[in-house]
Chain A
Amino acid sequence: MKNNMSARRRAGAGLAAAAAAAVLLLTAACGGKTSAGAGSGSSKSEDKGPLVVASWGSTTTESMRKYLAEPFTKETGIEIKIVDAPGKYAAGVQSQSRAGKIQWDILDAASAPDAYALHAQGLLEPLPADLKQKLSKILVDGAVKDFGYSYSALGYIVGCQEQRVASCPDAQQYFDAKAYPGRRQMIATSPMVNLSLAELANGVAPKDLGTHEINMDRAFAKLKELKPDVKVWWQSSDQSQQTIRNGEVDLGILYSGRIYLLKEQGTPVKPVWKGGLYNPGYMAVVKGSQHKDAAFRFLQWIAEHPEAQAGWASGTRNSVPNPKSFDTMTPQLRESLADWPANREVLANINYDWYVKNLDEVNRRWQEFLRG
């Protein structure tokens, strides 16, 4: 009975879709001015959304609304609805896809592991070829992937409490606790960051790291060596700030943005970008979005509006991919961002393709290492 009903409903939906397609074809045939290609201006304005954007909450959601969504709506008439789903992108998209009801159109700066995993599962819309080409020309090198582009990047870099650490190591020297003594902290929730840093310390060249297959035995051995000096494995970025402030640790691997935030709030912390890791987020369109074209149009709009990105960066302190946006920022702001050339060129890439393939094994061994 239930099956019958849903089958009927599906048939109904199919009919409706066919009818809609027929109407579209008719209007296309009669109007004759529909052009191919995403975002070619007013001719695509039939779809008014609303676009649903999944975002991270707090400053990220506010900045998305103020600097990106509102100006875009004003210009195009496409409505945008933002929902907060911090840390729930992958689970959310998976369950929506299973239920056959896609509710989100866009993921606002999905974390790289999530984006790569969703892409591998076929749950993200590939960028249309022409859009991909356009974006590659205007965004920083390596920002554009098959499923979207890098946005809201951060560095995993060394931060030292200057009063307690005489000479601050870079991320590779960080593993030498004899030459650079001090109580350390590292991230508990991202095994790939720790394994990648360990491999760099093991002598992997930074430029190769993005394609390097991690030697887990060797990397875990390196981490084990350092473990007695790691007093805190932080589980939230707020905690990583708190432990530096209250003296629980002297130095650590932190999100770059948090180090600058600490500095602003009066804790003398020195950021060392050299040898750190580039941690991108990704703007992506969810597979099966009802407003796919409008969604890609929004992505293109963001990429092509450097001043909007500069505003967004001032709101979130995270980096943006259009190099022109640096022109309208204060020097202090741009020098604190991961895509600022002086910072970007000393950061290594994480091999997320490898991580997605070895996810279970890496996570299992990481838990054993951390808790065992």
Chain B
Amino acid sequence: MSAAMQQATVPAGRARPGKTWSAQLSRRTAVLMVAPLVLAVLLLVVYPIFKLLYDSLTQGDGPGNYVEAVSSKAIRRAFVLTLLNSAAVTVLSLGLGAVLAWTLRLARRRLVTALVWAVVLLPFWMGVVVKNYAFALLLARDGLVNTALRALGIVDEPVQLLYTPWAVIAGMTYTMIPYAVLALYPSMSAVDLELLNASQGLGASRSRAFRSVLLPLVLPGVIAATAIVFAISIGFYVTPVLLGGAQTPFIATVVGDDIFTFFNYPRAAAASVLLLAIALAAIGTAAKAVGFKSLRGGLG
């Protein structure tokens, strides 16, 4: 009550000295403010990762865990499937994501941009089970896709779509498109269209303008998006299980088997570390190519 009265007595538009708003924080305040976050990262990210690394080298057969993991046919096949499918997902989501991001750059009408943003962000906000279940319904033998294919006379017998790598790629691409768009959009929205017009005015063909002007401008965004989409893709668990079935294992699936079914924790740790190393290598390569700044920009 008294505080409110006091506030009211302060003349409008005149701040009291020493209480100005400033972009500069004192060192002490800054350290204090990031401390909880640093603590959380140390506790929830750094510690578990080091523990994982340590366990993978000391439990079970020690370094032999890695030999065991790599010599297992199931794990090798899971690695191959994980990497190939993730590469396919990366290419598809980047291709489709680029079209969407460029549309967002060019579209003038609010309705169009709003619609495209909605299409991009809706799957982003949907629960993972809902998304995958929708795909399971669409791709089932008596699902919409098979019904349409048969009605159009493209196939006579329903084809198996569900529980194949193709179903996994479709479901994952749908999930990853928003990431691709969000990573591509910053670099695309920064492109000055006059540059393209100027190059064509100077005699470049449309494809030359694309190659020599647009592509170099958006390349950092493309590399960032590739790394991000690929690194997230190789860690997928739910989609391969639900849409790929037992026959299309991802590394995460096999790690899950080892932990929950076979209680082979050391081998699970070794396989996880290998997967993590691949993800880090992808991000690291991209960072080296375009700098962490573009990567960060890509992540929003």
Chain A positions within 8 Å of B, measured between CB atoms, are: 91, 188-189, 231-235, 246-248, 360, 363-364, 367-368, 370-372
* Bound Cα distance A188, B257 (Å): 11
A138 CB → nearest B CB, Å: 36
* Bound Cα distance A91, B259 (Å): 11
Contacts of A370 in B (CB 8 A): 74, 246-247
Q: List 9 A-B contacts (CB under 8 A).
A: A189-B261, A246-B142, A247-B142, A248-B162, A367-B262, A370-B247, A371-B77, A371-B246, A371-B254
Q: Given the known A-B contacts A231-B163, A235-B241, are A371 and B74 also in contact in the complex, defined by CB atoms under 8 Å?
A: yes
* Bound Cα distance A235, B141 (Å): 19
Q: Is the interface of A mostly helix, strand, loop or mixed?
A: mixed
Contacts of A91 in B (CB 8 A): 263
Contact present for A235 and B163 (CB under 8 Å): no
* Among candidates B74, B78, B163, B263, residue contacting A248 with C-beta atoms closer than 8 Å: B163
Q: Given the known A-B contacts A235-B241, A248-B162, A367-B257, are A372 and B247 also in contact in the complex, defined by CB atoms under 8 Å?
A: no
Contacts of B98 in A (CB 8 A): none
Question: Assuming A231-B160, A232-B246, A371-B254, what are 5 further A-B pairs, CB within 8 angstroms?
Answer: A232-B163, A233-B245, A247-B142, A367-B74, A368-B73
B59 within 8 A of A: no
B158 within 8 A of A: yes
Closest 5 CB pairs of A and B: A233-B246, A371-B74, A372-B73, A188-B246, A247-B141
B183 within 8 A of A: no
Contacts of B143 in A (CB 8 A): 246
Contacts of B78 in A (CB 8 A): 371
Contact present for B246 and A372 (CB under 8 Å): no
Contacts of A231 in B (CB 8 A): 160, 163
Contact present for A368 and B74 (CB under 8 Å): yes
* Bound Cα distance A364, B262 (Å): 8
Contact present for A235 and B142 (CB under 8 Å): no
Contacts of B141 in A (CB 8 A): 246-248
A323 CB → nearest B CB, Å: 35
Contact present for B77 and A232 (CB under 8 Å): no
Contacts of A372 in B (CB 8 A): 73-74, 77
* Among candidates B137, B247, B254, B263, residue contacting A233 with C-beta atoms closer than 8 Å: B247
B249 within 8 A of A: yes
B159 CB → nearest A CB, Å: 12
* Bound Cα distance A68, B141 (Å): 43
* Bound Cα distance A360, B262 (Å): 8
A98 CB → nearest B CB, Å: 13
B72 within 8 A of A: yes
- For window 243-280 of chain B, which residues contact chain A by CB distance below 8 Å? 245-247, 249, 253-254, 257, 261-263
Contacts of B261 in A (CB 8 A): 189, 363
- For window 141-174 of chain B, which residues contact chain A by CB distance below 8 Å? 141-143, 158, 160, 162-163
When C-beta atoms are compared, the residue in chain B nearest to A248 turns out to be B141
Contact present for B262 and A232 (CB under 8 Å): no
When C-beta atoms are compared, the residue in chain A nearest to B161 turns out to be A248
Contact present for B142 and A371 (CB under 8 Å): no
* Bound Cα distance A228, B158 (Å): 17
* Among candidates A232, A367, A368, residue contacting B245 with C-beta atoms closer than 8 Å: A232
B140 within 8 A of A: yes
When C-beta atoms are compared, the residue in chain B nearest to A372 turns out to be B73
* Bound Cα distance A371, B137 (Å): 24
* Bound Cα distance A370, B261 (Å): 14
Q: Given the known A-B contacts A233-B245, A368-B72, A371-B246, are A248 and B140 also in contact in the complex, defined by CB atoms under 8 Å?
A: yes
When C-beta atoms are compared, the residue in chain A nearest to B248 turns out to be A371
